[in-house]
Amino acid sequence: MKLTILFGGASFEHEISIVSAITLREKLSSFNLTFVFCDQDHTFYLIEASKMKATTFSRGEYKKMPKLSIANGAFIQKGLFGSTEYDATVLNLIHGADGEDGSIAALLDFFSIKYIGPRMDASVFSYDKRYTKWLSHARGVKSLKHEELSLKEHNNIKTPYPIIVKPSRLGSSIGVSVVKEESELDYALDSAFEFDSSVIVEPFLQGVKEYNLAGFMANKKMHFSIVEEPQKNEFLDFEKKYMDFSRSSQVLKAEISKELESKLKANFEKIYKNMFEGALIRCDFFVVDGEVYLNEINPIPGSMANYLFEDFTNCLEMLSNSLPHAKRARTNYEYIHSISKAKGK
């Protein structure tokens, strides 16, 4: 199977995207892979598979590699004697801004390039944690009560301590703090506002059970990963999550009841259907007193959550054969012709 892995982007999660791409190069070794790197200036580069290592990017060696442009249906490498098209299905592996905020989805849709990843509307509702709350409420999925604060205006926090403070539009636990008392609040807000002008405040639930579940729709059927219970200390911080992006060995299935597994899958399906078709996503859930709460949606999970699937390559093959097709409006200029005819022109 031919697949173009698109990674990088201009975001705080730029380096994490590189780690994901390197991991998938090894995980998808049976595929015919092309690697397209988007640098922080939004220039596209064709990266040789043998050069897919961290130092290629940290040392700027990628700048010596061929630049690509984008045209209808493909990435294009222009040469002295013609051009080469890279028209394989794109796997959007850009984490954070660009990849998960809808920018890349809009670009690929605009140029009619087939891709695995969230569409623009799905990106909007999953990238911004405020909109994720709205989506979960509209679809009958519980989520924790929260407060929304802005950089220009934020009043006293009404949520009882301890609380968790996090940027509204950022992943990988960047800028996230657990605040146990009021004296720690200003520092936590400063940290969060460094990355975003909007912040979410939620109650911090001590010892809460957390479960991760990934899935996708193919052949009009939902396909789920195993359920994972992530190992964490106080909360899953950046360092712990960073390691997730380089995981390629399947993790152990959580020891939970069939009833709870069914609840998690039912809530996942409510979130996914008629929104995330074409994407493999991961939902992170809390379980409180037997009730399932959505924590967050990962529209492009680290290394595509390959470690949660028994046969990840087969999953991507199924998904690539079930991608939605955007309808493009066509015109025959009848209206203009009728006006011109009426005017005798």
Q: What is the pLDDT of residue 155?
A: 67
pLDDT, residue 231, reads 79
Cross-strand bridge partners of residue 148: 200
Which pairing describes strands 115-116 and 281-288: parallel, antiparallel, or unpaired? unpaired
Whether the pLDDT of residue 209 is over 80: the answer is yes
Domain 2-116: give its CATH architecture.
Answer: 3-Layer(aba) Sandwich (3.40)
pLDDT at 25: 95
CA–chain centroid gap for 69, Å, is 24
Q: CATH assignment of 147-203?
A: 3.30.1490.20
Structure tokens at 79: 């040469």
Query: Which CATH class for the 123-142+207-320 domain?
Result: alpha beta
Domains 123-142+207-320 and 147-203 alike in fold: no
Give the model's pLDDT for residue 344: 63
* Whole-prediction pTM: 0.89
Residue ranges in 160-279 assigned as alpha helix (H): 185-193, 238-244, 258-272
> Judging by DSSP bridges, how do beta strands 2-8 and 90-92 pair with one another?
parallel
The residue-averaged pLDDT of 313-342 equals 88
What is the rounded CA–CA span in Å between residue 88 and residue 2?
Answer: 6
Q: Round to whole Å and give the CA distance between 332 and 188.
A: 57
- Residue 20 pLDDT exceeds 90: yes
Span 306-330, average pLDDT: 92
Which of 120, 96, 98 has the alpha carbon at shortest distance from 175?
96
At residue 260, the 3 state secondary structure works out as helix
Mean pLDDT of 62-86: 94
With cut-offs at 50, 70 and 90, classify the pLDDT of residue 84.
very high
39: burial class by Cβ within 10 Å (0-12, 13-18, 19+)? Answer: middle
Q: Which amino acid is at 239?
A: E
pLDDT per residue as tens digits for the range 238-259: 455 445 556 667 788 999 999 9
The domain segmentation of the chain, as residue ranges, is 2-116, 123-142+207-320, 147-203
Helices (H), 149-236: 185-193
